[in-house]
Structure 1
Amino acid sequence: MGPRSRERRLGAVQSTNDSSALSKSSLAAHGYVHDPFAALLVPGTVRRAPLIHRGYYVRARAIRHCVHTFLERTCAVSGVSRAQILSLGAGSDSLYFRLKAAGRLTRTAVWEVDFPDVARRKAERIGDTPELSALTGPFQRGDPESALCFASLDYRILGLDLRQLQRLDQALAAAGLDPAAPTLLLAEAVLTYLEADNAAALIAWAAQRFPNALFVIYEQMRPHDAFGQFMQQHFRQLNSPLHGLDRFPDVEAQQHRFLRAGWTACSALDMNGFYRRFLPAEECRRVENLEPFDEFEEWHLKCSHYFILAASRGNAFSQTLVFPRSQVFHRVDPASPSGAFPASVVPSARQDPNLKRYGHASVLLSPEIILSTGGFGEEEGRHCRVSMFHLLSRYCDFKWKGSQIRNWGTGAPWDGRLYHTMTRLSDTQVLVLGGRLSPVTPALGILQLRLCKSDGGNSIEDLNITVTKAGPEADSILSRWRHSTTNMSYENQKYLFVYGGRSVVDPVLSDWHFLHVGTMTWVRIPVEGEAPEGRHSHSACSWQGGALIAGGLGASEEPLSSVVFLKPISGGFLWESVVIQPPITPRYAHTAHVLNGKLLLVGGIWIHSSSVLGVTVIDLTAGLSSEYQIDTTCVPWPLMLHNHSSILLPEEQQLLLLGGGGNCFSFGTYFNPHTVTLDLSSLSAG
């Protein structure tokens, strides 16, 4: 790498500090954390999205947990007169000021290290801001030629390159850092921006230099799945690629990395585990109610791709004090795969821009036509709620062709809803129930879509869709989204069974309703048995005259593994649990189908397994589950199997996967670019 390229990369890495600082300022401004100093340390303001707020919140709480554990331990250990915190790559972080204002630095001093430009900017801002300099007390600004940029009685800021360890060691010693004192080393999203060899040298240097220390890092991991690949691409585009992820892809590898470098104990867990095990339930509820939120998939994926690690040396700072084993989030991985379903791109539907969407709905109108509606996606070169309808039509030799259709006629316009359901009534009619326009705006009314041909037209291009409203304009029952709708029959009448979901008022709904198709009215039908746990983003399939409900996200925002059957009985229905062995991985945002007495759960979001979900196959008669991977060798670019739709073609033993993706934290929005088919023939052969 030449000098100019190196300078551009260093500038890009430094810019990540500015973005992070603005996010932390927005985090405090919206009540997630108490930090009056974040906004004082960074010029300008910006309002981050709720998803980014949650991501930075769990990061802030994980670091806070480790810092407070360190401080409490040093206070409890006799003979410790002074402790120290060394923050590597501290940037514009406000840790010192928060601790000082809370009275937690009576026996502790803070050292910060970052690039010289970053350190000097921070030192100048502190000196020019009375609210900050009042907390530091009397201070000195360093000589422009010196690494020391700012010095007060308990606070030092140094401008150094972390790759130059000899100079780092000398400058810290000159600034008064005592290697023998209990030391907390912090590196928040720092080591991953260093070349792997430089990061390894820094970890080993710290182990040799500090005999009584705790080293805490927060970083990315899991580079190989679809989200991980998209995450890496984002940082490459910023000219600040992530290093070391291939060598240390998970928490186990990260732990071994520190142990091999001379640290005597080490524990790590991903941020889903930290959030669920180390934050009080009431605090989680407080945070979850701060802002309207409906990006659970990306929240859980982000948390599964970042981890917090604590490595220790010396008897005073055992890692078990930071993350007690009884609280560490233990993963339960599924059984070994029973096989794989080959995936391939549907050739004639390759790079179909009109199916680059998520949160949509699709239905098989006839063996030759698939209709997709709504969702969030790309339309006319911009990201928006999709207004165009999409038809995938089949012609000879299993070839498909995609086309888009606008509203036609004098009927009601399509309102741009997503997370709705769509149910086939006939070869030319579907019913759309529920959905939302935003997390605080439900889509009102039942929509009936009718596929019709224009005068004299016989090709797919001549088809039109009319939209009409059915049922009452403001139907409170359907002020929900992420619910399910299932075809059922009762006393020889057709009904739609609407279950679960969420609404503006209720984050999780547990109720159900029966819609009589003929009259478009809600009808009460007796249901016995213990009702299942409320959920949204689950799947529902018609089976044996009833409905199979699988997975979903529960009230505590944790994925569910239960499968329940609404079974027809004399005079109504009965809720019945389906016992499955081995237990399936909890999931949500998946799709499901029943094929030859087997329930297929396709993709979804998971937080309890280290492996990416493929297709779980459940034999409904025997109650046995098996896992099948999806062989994506022939599918270019990552395939994100959540918020997609899928269509089962039983005669061909194939499954079509349409759309899918999401707003991936701060990395951008990803849409699956291809329509993909899964070959299920091995399932029937087995």
Structure 2
Amino acid sequence: MGPRGRERRAGAIPNTNDSSSLSKCSLAARGYVRDPFASLLVSGAPRRAPLIHRGYYVRARAVRHCVRSFLEHVPAEGGSPLRQILSLGAGSDSLYFRLKAAGRLAQAAVWEVDFPEVAERKAAKIRSELELAAVAGPPLSAADLGSGPSAALHFASKDYRLLGSDLRDLEALGRSLEASGLDVGAPTLLLAEAVLSYLDVGSAAALVAWAAGSFTDAVFILYEQMGPHDPFGQVMLRHFERLSSPLHGLARFPDVAAQRRRFLDAGWGACSVVDMNEFYRGFIPAQERERMEALEPFDEFEEWHLKCSHYFILAASRAGGLAQTLLLPSREAFSRVEPAPPAGVLFARVLGELDGRPLKRFGHASALLGPNVILSTGGFGEQEGRHTRVSKCHVLFKHPGSRWNASLVGAAGTQWDGRLFHTMTPFSGSRALVLGGRLSPVTPALGMYWLCWPSPEGSGADLPKGTIAEVGPEAEFPSPRWRHSAAKVFCQRQEYLFVYGGRNGKDPVLGDWHFLHMDTMTWVSLPVEGPDPDARHSHSACSWKGGALIAGGLNVSEEPLGSVHFLKSVSNGFCWEKLEVQPPITPRYSHTAHLFDGKLLLVGGVWIHSSSVPGVTVIDLATRLSFEYHIDTTSVPWPLMLHNHTSILLQEEQQLLLLGGGGNCFSFGTHFNLHPVTLDITLLRSRQ
């Protein structure tokens, strides 16, 4: 890297520190963590989104856990060497002040290293803020430390050293640490919190090897990104590239296994790694998780789990079992349920011959009305040049042949309210019934609507305008909710709409169900026998044999479910039956589902029990055997995120049409799938 490249790089990295520090301030201000010092070390106090709060919360808990465990497992005994914490790329973090105020630095000291300009800015804050200065204690001079003047030392006290040094110059770093009193023979925790990925691969490798070779009794704690190849990972990489701070090394070390090998190959004796989904469930007590989850309204589970699957915490030790001890969970996070090897590949292709407006939204609903009209409503997406809850309907109309036309239009009648996470169930007469949804994470969308969009008459006719009509108050849904499911079922030859599960502003998850009699449009009670399924939301429902198949979803603990239940139609009502599927399917949610050739297809979604990306799970309903199919997206020119999407089964074409999808990807920005995509599922019909 040339001088100008180094200069640009050094300028971009402090900017990531500023953003991170402000997020940590917002985290403390909203009660996620106790940190009275965060706001004293940076200027400004913006309020971050709940999703970013959750991401920084689990990061803070992971670092806190490792640091406290180190101090507890390396006791401060008389005559033992001083325990040391060396924070590499510390930025404006308040770790030292929190430890000191909590009385956790008995016979211990903290060293912090960052770029000289970052270190000097932090030193100035410490000198000017009375509360920080009081915690740090009287400053020491180089003479007090028994060394000569050092340009790298920006602040020193009895148990704190703040150095300005470039982590790429290890020779200068070593000299500065030695001059400031660091003892390479003492028990030392080296902390690199989102640091190595900002260094070029060679510099990061040299730093890991230098740490292994320089300290005789050390543990290295690393919090970092991973998973660059899947859609969320690609959005993450592009975000940092736009900030002129690209992430390095992820291609060489894309997962926890590669990160473990990275440290073992560099000379560390032992290494443990967990992703943040596993840390959250295995290391944070349930009571504390419940406290955190209740702090703010939240409804972005997909991006929360995906963010956690793309970050990890690592502990590597020089010798002994300290690395395993630091990352030994207090309870099992969850059992890994890895999908079976793919039985085949389904190829994704952008819908060809498409005229008109693309559908860029997520959290919407879609329905096939007649043979040639696909209607999508609601969701969050692009409308009139801005991101908003979408109030216009999106209509796909197939002309004779293969050409599709797309329109973003309003409809006559009642104004559409732009709800998210509702259901839209098609009925005869080119009609669909809309039910449930939300306007905000705490505000349900009220009212039920009939949407009608007839097909045009004749090959050259224009698409008729649709209508929206609110269902009368006598049919008002008695229990507002969103992220629920709706499916048509039959009992004694009467048609009903079966509504199951979901959540609302008061209950994080619902396990009840309701029946709407379609002839009279009244809600009725029908007998249902058998053991109830776990309460869930963000699951799928398909009509089958007069009943409904319920698959996946999130439970009350925000953990994906892998169960499949059949609401079976019996003589006097219905009966719940759990389907035993072999091999067991990987738990998932935010997927779509279809019945095709006697098989239940589960399309996309999010899971945390595996590091792979969900494709299409196929369950043969006759044999109860499951098969996994990989989705090949090489022909799709953007990251295809298959969650918060909808899909339509095109029986004659033997295709699945995937519409919309995406989400607010942590702090990396909002992602929308750009155009409809088709999956050829002919292969699934041929399997015996």
- Pairwise TM-score range, normalised by the shorter structure: over 0.9
Report the CA distance between 1:427 and its aligned residue: 3.6
* 2:295 corresponds to 1:281: no
- Which has the higher mean CA deviation after the structures are superposed, 116-125 or 318-327? 318-327
* Native 8 Å contact 1:482 1:501 kept in 2: yes
CA distance in 1, matches of 2:135, 2:527: 67
* Native 8 Å contact 1:123 1:141 kept in 2: no
Q: Which residue of structure 2 lines up, in the alignment, with residue 262 of structure 1?
A: 267
Alpha-carbon spacing, 1:353–1:156, altered in 2? closer, same or farther (3 Å): farther
Report the CA distance between 1:407 and its aligned residue: 2.7
CA distance in 2, matches of 1:139, 1:631: 60
CA distance in 1, matches of 2:100, 2:618: 56
Residue 577 of structure 1: SS of its match in structure 2?
strand
Q: Which residue of structure 1 lines up, in the alignment, with residue 43 of structure 2?
A: 43
Report the CA distance between 1:342 and its aligned residue: 1.3
* 2:684 corresponds to 1:683: yes
* Native 8 Å contact 1:41 1:92 kept in 2: yes
Q: Which residue of structure 2 lines up, in the alignment, with residue 487 of structure 1?
A: 488
Which runs of no fewer than 5 residues in structure 2 stay unpaired?
A: 143-147
- What does residue range 503-652 of structure 1 map to in structure 2 within 5 Å? 503-652=504-653
Alpha-carbon spacing, 1:144–1:15, altered in 2? closer, same or farther (3 Å): farther
CA distance in 1, matches of 2:197, 2:246: 8
Q: Which residue of structure 1 lines up, in the alignment, with residue 217 of structure 2?
A: 212
Given the two structures, how large is their TM-score scaled by the length of structure 1?
A: 0.96
CA distance in 1, matches of 2:80, 2:553: 50
Q: 2:446 aligns with which of 440, 444, 452?
A: 444
- What does residue range 63-142 of structure 1 map to in structure 2 within 5 Å? 63-75=63-75, 79-140=79-140
Q: 1:398 aligns with which of 398, 402, 408?
A: 402
- Which has the higher mean CA deviation after the structures are superposed, 47-56 or 332-341? 332-341
Residue 292 of structure 2: SS of its match in structure 1?
helix
* 2:174 corresponds to 1:173: no
Alpha-carbon spacing, 1:344–1:354, altered in 2? closer, same or farther (3 Å): closer
* Native 8 Å contact 1:353 1:673 kept in 2: no
Report the CA distance between 1:492 and its aligned residue: 2.1
CA distance in 2, matches of 1:468, 1:649: 27
Q: 2:189 aligns with which of 184, 195, 202?
A: 184
Deviations 1:244-288 (A, max 9, x none): 000000000000000011100000010000001001001110000
Report the CA distance between 1:519 and its aligned residue: 2.2
* Native 8 Å contact 1:538 1:552 kept in 2: yes
How many pairs does the alignment contain?
682
CA distance in 2, matches of 1:521, 1:20: 53
- What does residue range 195-210 of structure 1 map to in structure 2 within 5 Å? 195-210=200-215
Q: Which residue of structure 2 lines up, in the alignment, with residue 422 of structure 1?
A: 424
- Which has the higher mean CA deviation after the structures are superposed, 525-534 or 633-642? 633-642
Report the CA distance between 1:317 and its aligned residue: 2.8
Given the two structures, how large is their TM-score scaled by the length of structure 2?
A: 0.96
Residue 466 of structure 2: SS of its match in structure 1?
strand
Residue 554 of structure 1: SS of its match in structure 2?
coil
* Native 8 Å contact 1:457 1:463 kept in 2: no
CA distance in 2, matches of 1:145, 1:313: 30
* Native 8 Å contact 2:66 2:326 kept in 1: no
CA distance in 2, matches of 1:473, 1:167: 78
Deviations 1:385-406 (A, max 9, x none): 0111111111233322211211
Residue 404 of structure 1: SS of its match in structure 2?
strand
* Native 8 Å contact 2:156 2:162 kept in 1: yes
* Native 8 Å contact 1:228 1:305 kept in 2: yes
CA distance in 2, matches of 1:226, 1:93: 31
> Structure 1: which amino acid aligns with 2:190?
L
Deviations 1:158-183 (A, max 9, x none): 00000000000000000000000000
Which runs of no fewer than 5 residues in structure 1 stay unpaired?
A: none
* Native 8 Å contact 1:213 1:313 kept in 2: yes
- Which has the higher mean CA deviation after the structures are superposed, 515-524 or 101-110? 515-524
Q: Which residue of structure 1 lines up, in the alignment, with residue 11 of structure 2?
A: 11
Deviations 1:139-174 (A, max 9, x none): 147899700000000000000000000000000000
> Structure 1: which amino acid aligns with 2:400?
C
Q: Which residue of structure 2 lines up, in the alignment, with residue 250 of structure 1?
A: 255
Deviations 1:407-460 (A, max 9, x none): 32xx22000101000011224211100000000111001011122589x99866
Q: Which residue of structure 2 lines up, in the alignment, with residue 383 of structure 1?
A: 387
* Native 8 Å contact 2:74 2:83 kept in 1: yes
CA distance in 1, matches of 2:313, 2:461: 54
Residue 347 of structure 1: SS of its match in structure 2?
coil
Report the CA distance between 1:479 and its aligned residue: 1.3
Deviations 1:358-390 (A, max 9, x none): 000000001111001000001111100011111
- What does residue range 225-244 of structure 1 map to in structure 2 within 5 Å? 225-244=230-249
Identity over aligned pairs, percent: 65
Report the CA distance between 1:319 and its aligned residue: 2.6
CA distance in 1, matches of 2:14, 2:517: 61
Alpha-carbon spacing, 1:265–1:435, altered in 2? closer, same or farther (3 Å): same
Report the CA distance between 1:461 and its aligned residue: 4.5
Deviations 1:76-127 (A, max 9, x none): 7775241000000000000000000000011110000000000000000010
Alpha-carbon spacing, 1:101–1:3, altered in 2? closer, same or farther (3 Å): same
CA distance in 2, matches of 1:333, 1:240: 34
Deviations 1:624-645 (A, max 9, x none): 0000001112111111000100
